[in-house]
Chains A and B, each alone.
Chain A
Amino acid sequence: MLPGIPLFPEQASTLAPEVDNLYFFITAVTAFFALLVVVLVVVFAIKYRDKTGEKVGHPIHGSLPLEIGWSIIPFLVAMVIFVWATVVFFHIVRAPDQALEVYSTGKQWMWRFQHIDGQSEINELHVPVGRPVKITFTSEDVLHSLYFPAFRVKADAIPGRYSSLWFTATKTGEYHLFCAEYCGTAHSGMVGKVVVMEPDDYQAWLSGGGGLSLAARGEQLFQQLGCVGCHLGDGSGRGPSLAGKYGTEETLATGATVAIDDIYIRESILTPQMKLTAGYGPLMPTFQGLVTEEGVMSLIEYIKSLSSTAGPAAPTQASAPAPPPAASDNTGGPGE
């Protein structure tokens, strides 16, 4: 073997050993079957070789027990892999409740990460070691895919939808971050690194950037876009109050109920007529094109924050005139 050929990626998350154990198991099983067939083919080819081409083989036409055996046994082995892999998969797709949340958007050809506390970064993501991190993300243009090989997780970034993935990093250091879904010219340049830090270092890094928290930026936007004019905190406005709503259910004008989560809030901002709240008219204009994906994320974070504090700030400012939406083209926060 040549020196320096890497054969195995770094294991840097709690999920990585789970995925790798599955990988080793499937490798062992498939290697067994591959070797079995290869050895038989080679042995038969040599043992029964006839250089003249004159002889004929023995009249053997089949065997039902063998057919049943080599149908059932591979099937059972496949089912073991299926069950095991599905268990691992559900660990991968189900984020723990207490995860540290980070928002991200992919666009041709960069990843932007937005921390709740206000830090934002491009093609770099700083996270603490030993703590679950959940990234909620979307795309502003074409499909992308957020991929952390050292953590064994990836998910596509899809315009118009939120995706999420989570990991708990187990080792400090720097690891690759790739776009895995082909996205055009500089697809292979849409890469970066994830920096896993000790919790203290992470806190220091987090406070180093300053700036407003994501929720505070959402609040600013809430006023700039004029949301505050209708969504009064006491419910007396033309739109429903948003205080205490996140995580609950809403009854729609159609009578259906819908969970108020990130996706519903995003839909309500961009296509407000689609799922009207019961008791309110179709008055809200769409904010499509007026607010960036990152702006939407900050608004979601702000609405979330209204659920954790008793008295949101929004209604007290209801009298203040809001600037018209058209004037607020800088809605994506700093760095846009």
Chain B
Amino acid sequence: MTTTVLPRVNYLNVKHTVASWLLTKDHKRIGIMYLIVVSLAFLIGGIFAALIRVELTTPLGDLVSDDTYNKLFTMHGVAMVFFVLIPAVPAILGNFALPLMIGAKDVAFPKINLLSWYIFVIGFLFTIAAGILGGVDTGWTFYTPYSSVYSNSNVLLTGIGIFIAGFSSILTGLNFMVTIHRMRAPGMTWFRLPLFIWALYATSLVQILGTPVIAITVLMLAVERALGFGFFDPRLGGDPVLFQHLFWFYSHPAVYIMILPPMGAISEVIACFSRKSIFGYSFVAFSSLAIAVFGFLVWAHHLFVSGISPYSAMVFSFLSFAVAIPSAIKTFNWTATMYRGAIWWQAPMMWVFGFMGLFLIGGLTGLFLAALGLDVHLHDTYFVVAHFHYIMVGGAIMGYFAGLHYWWPKMTGKMYSNSAATLAALLVFVGFNLTFFPQFIVGYLGMPRRYHAYADEFQVLNVLSSAGASIMGVGYTLIACYLLYSFFKGKDAGPNPWRAVGLEWETQSPPIPENFTEQPIVTAAPYGYETRESNVG
């Protein structure tokens, strides 16, 4: 590392031993350690995705066997959902930025924070072991009784991995929530909190309340599979649909664990590069809480054709439409924030533009699926696959990259190439649309998801998808290249390369281990861009 050229001691160069990393209690180092593990999971999940797309270029299942294909999409889903999307923004960016943004020295429980990372890694290792020992083929949704009785793959080992990783999520949520309550700098009132903090707070709520349910569900699945308890197996008096209720009671709110923190990052970046206050601050803040709360009441919209009563389907359809409104409010407020701003086209803002386009499509196509009469046709087709990738990749991953590009100079003290980053955002945006837009069409045509082989007439659209995926792959590879290059060879970023407002920009880059040389005191609302300089554009 070339950290020796930096003028002062910082959290990266304060100690160099491996033990100093593995035993660190510094939230910033723990954030970097999450970055490494999550990036590895993203690479693994991405390789699975690439193999899936290559297989699907022809209608015949000719590249891999059907069992292998089933394992590929299962492990793609498990890696991406549990080890990338859920931890990406809270555990990497949240860990790094949260204490800095509220003017704290660290999170409330630094040792528990380190414990969270170890629990996460142990969960990840179990899941990796399940993959190496033959994989798992149930789909990431683990629907019973296939997963509990019929599958011959490593369901238990994967389940244990997810069970363990869940505790990491619970502890991180708990840690953040206490930190936000107890560790704010003097003057940092609730309504002076940056919106990223509001988003992390709402997310912590979901993590704490929702994650125990998936732990219980996985445990019930394990007990049925290993000991023959009849929770879900109808031959033993169980009910397979019960599993779906339990699974989605966590896994739908989990979607909000994945999307709320990136939304918070988007609010930070859009304010900074529009040089303006966020339009409708309190509406954006409370819409995060509304999403977190209403998100718990929509789970059965995954079950409209799974044998629930039509009247309960009606209620869940109504609530699903209702939960769309806070997301719409956020989108309109972000758009209005740009109005009469002074918009500086830097790389993080390019990712925001990408996010806006893709999240918009992802959110709006959710209305198709919330609509009962239409969902009967669309359920379990590629339309659903396209919809949730627009939310998860187009929304969550684009938002993650917006945040990562925004805070990268703070995390590393180094600046990456702006033009390379802009090109990467463009490649991912174009590649993503080419990959997933055709899937809406092939879904409406009736192509079911999780098909290893498919009818001939779906081929052209699938080839387009695969072509788009390869463009996206180039984009992601490019990001890895210029970020790594900048880490070792990049120009010094200085404390505040974006001339951004916020406590994290008032300390040096990379920050000192204690974050601030003296306790910051907050006297104004966040995003005071307009008042900082007189040069109104």
Residues on A lying within 8 angstroms of B by beta carbon are 2, 4-9, 18-19, 22-23, 26, 29-30, 33-34, 37-38, 40-41, 44-45, 48-63, 66-67, 70-71, 74-75, 78-79, 81-82, 84-93, 108, 141-143, 145, 147, 149-150, 152-156, 158-161, 163, 176, 178-189, 191, 271, 288
In this assembly, does B522 line the interface, its C-beta being within 8 Å of a C-beta of chain A?
A: no
Q: Which of B70, B333, B338, B342 has the most CB of A within 10 A?
A: B342
In the complex, the chain B residue whose C-beta lies closest to that of A151 is B377
Q: Which of B314, B356, B370, B371 has the most CB of A within 10 A?
A: B371
Contacts of A49 in B (CB 8 A): 343-345
Q: Is B531's CB under 8 angstroms from A66's CB?
A: no
Q: Is A50's CB under 8 angstroms from B372's CB?
A: no
In this assembly, does B321 line the interface, its C-beta being within 8 Å of a C-beta of chain A?
A: yes
> What's the dominant secondary structure at chain A's contact region?
mixed
Given contacts A142-B146, A182-B143, contact A78 B321 (CB under 8 A): yes
In the complex, the chain B residue whose C-beta lies closest to that of A162 is B307
Q: How far is the CB of B416 from chain A (nearest CB, A)?
A: 17
Contacts of A40 in B (CB 8 A): 335, 338-339
B279, B331, B444: the one contacting A61 at CB < 8 Å is B279
- Beyond A22-B371, A86-B373, A93-B310, 9 additional pairs, beta carbon < 8 A: A23-B444, A44-B341, A57-B340, A60-B340, A154-B379, A155-B307, A160-B240, A183-B146, A189-B453
Contacts of A9 in B (CB 8 A): 444-446
The 3 closest A-B pairs by CB, nearest first: A149-B446, A88-B373, A160-B234
Contacts of B332 in A (CB 8 A): 37, 66, 70
A181–B324 alpha-carbon span in the complex (Å)? 26
Q: Which of B313, B332, B448, B457 has the most CB of A within 10 A?
A: B448
Q: How far is the CB of A273 from chain B (nearest CB, A)?
A: 12
A57–B342 alpha-carbon span in the complex (Å)? 5
B329, B353, B499, B532: the one contacting A70 at CB < 8 Å is B329
Given contacts A63-B280, A71-B329, contact A19 B377 (CB under 8 A): yes
Q: Is A143's CB under 8 angstroms from B143's CB?
A: yes
Q: Is B445's CB under 8 angstroms from A88's CB?
A: no
A160–B331 alpha-carbon span in the complex (Å)? 45
Q: Is B448's CB under 8 angstroms from A147's CB?
A: yes
A6–B532 alpha-carbon span in the complex (Å)? 56
Q: Is B279's CB under 8 angstroms from A288's CB?
A: no
In this assembly, does B423 line the interface, its C-beta being within 8 Å of a C-beta of chain A?
A: no
Contacts of B532 in A (CB 8 A): 56
Q: Is B343's CB under 8 angstroms from A81's CB?
A: no
Contacts of B325 in A (CB 8 A): 71, 74-75, 78
Q: How far is the CB of A160 from chain B (nearest CB, A)?
A: 3
B305, B333, B450: the one contacting A187 at CB < 8 Å is B450
Given contacts A53-B499, A81-B367, contact A149 B377 (CB under 8 A): yes
Given contacts A56-B532, A74-B328, A158-B307, contact A37 B371 (CB under 8 A): no
Q: How far is the CB of B115 from chain A (nearest CB, A)?
A: 36
The interface on chain B, measured as residues whose beta carbon lies within 8 A of the other chain's beta carbons, has a size of 101
A18–B376 alpha-carbon span in the complex (Å)? 12
B277, B340, B357: the one contacting A48 at CB < 8 Å is B340
Q: Is A85's CB under 8 angstroms from B317's CB?
A: yes
Q: Is B340's CB under 8 angstroms from A58's CB?
A: yes
A4, A75, A154: the one contacting B460 at CB < 8 Å is A4
Q: Is A184's CB under 8 angstroms from B137's CB?
A: yes
Q: Is B446's CB under 8 angstroms from A184's CB?
A: no
Q: Could you give 17 example pairs across A and B, Cβ below 8 Å? A: A19-B374, A37-B360, A40-B335, A40-B339, A41-B338, A45-B353, A53-B498, A55-B342, A57-B340, A57-B341, A58-B340, A62-B281, A79-B321, A143-B146, A147-B446, A180-B379, A186-B66
- Contact mask for chain B residues 410-446; partner A; CB cutoff 8 A; 1 contact, 0 none: 0000000000000000000000000000000100111
Q: Is A158's CB under 8 angstroms from B306's CB?
A: yes
A6–B455 alpha-carbon span in the complex (Å)? 12
Contacts of B455 in A (CB 8 A): 176, 191
Q: Is B234's CB under 8 angstroms from A30's CB?
A: no
Q: How far is the CB of A108 from chain B (nearest CB, A)?
A: 7
Q: Is B150's CB under 8 angstroms from A142's CB?
A: yes
Q: Which of B342, B356, B373 has the most CB of A within 10 A?
A: B373
Among B336-366, those with CB < 8 Å from A are 336, 338-346, 353, 356-357, 360-361, 364-365
In this assembly, does B241 line the interface, its C-beta being within 8 Å of a C-beta of chain A?
A: yes
Contacts of B361 in A (CB 8 A): 34
In the complex, the chain A residue whose C-beta lies closest to that of B153 is A184
Q: Is B280's CB under 8 angstroms from A91's CB?
A: no
Q: How far is the CB of B495 from chain A (nearest CB, A)?
A: 16
Given contacts A41-B335, A50-B344, contact A185 B67 (CB under 8 A): yes
Contacts of B379 in A (CB 8 A): 145, 154, 180
Among B38-96, those with CB < 8 Å from A are 61, 66-67, 70
Contacts of B452 in A (CB 8 A): 187-188
In this assembly, does B476 line the interface, its C-beta being within 8 Å of a C-beta of chain A?
A: no
Contacts of B365 in A (CB 8 A): 30
Contacts of A29 in B (CB 8 A): 367
Q: How far is the CB of A80 from chain B (nearest CB, A)?
A: 10
A54, A86, A145, A153: the one contacting B372 at CB < 8 Å is A86
Q: Is A6's CB under 8 angstroms from B445's CB?
A: yes
Contacts of B454 in A (CB 8 A): 188
A288–B380 alpha-carbon span in the complex (Å)? 31
Q: How far is the CB of B276 from chain A (nearest CB, A)?
A: 3
In the complex, the chain B residue whose C-beta lies closest to that of A4 is B460
A41–B275 alpha-carbon span in the complex (Å)? 15
Q: How far is the CB of B457 from chain A (nearest CB, A)?
A: 5
A158, A161, A184: the one contacting B150 at CB < 8 Å is A184
A67–B452 alpha-carbon span in the complex (Å)? 46
In this assembly, does B145 line the interface, its C-beta being within 8 Å of a C-beta of chain A?
A: yes
B339, B364, B461, B536: the one contacting A55 at CB < 8 Å is B536
Q: Is B441's CB under 8 angstroms from A154's CB?
A: no
Q: Is A185's CB under 8 angstroms from B66's CB?
A: yes
A38–B517 alpha-carbon span in the complex (Å)? 44
Q: Is A176's CB under 8 angstroms from B446's CB?
A: yes
Q: Is A180's CB under 8 angstroms from B342's CB?
A: no
In this assembly, does B381 line the interface, its C-beta being within 8 Å of a C-beta of chain A?
A: yes
Q: How far is the CB of B386 from chain A (nearest CB, A)?
A: 14
In this assembly, does B16 line the interface, its C-beta being within 8 Å of a C-beta of chain A?
A: no
Contacts of B333 in A (CB 8 A): 62, 67
Q: Is A56's CB under 8 angstroms from B535's CB?
A: yes
Among B354-408, those with CB < 8 Å from A are 356-357, 360-361, 364-365, 367-368, 370-377, 379-381
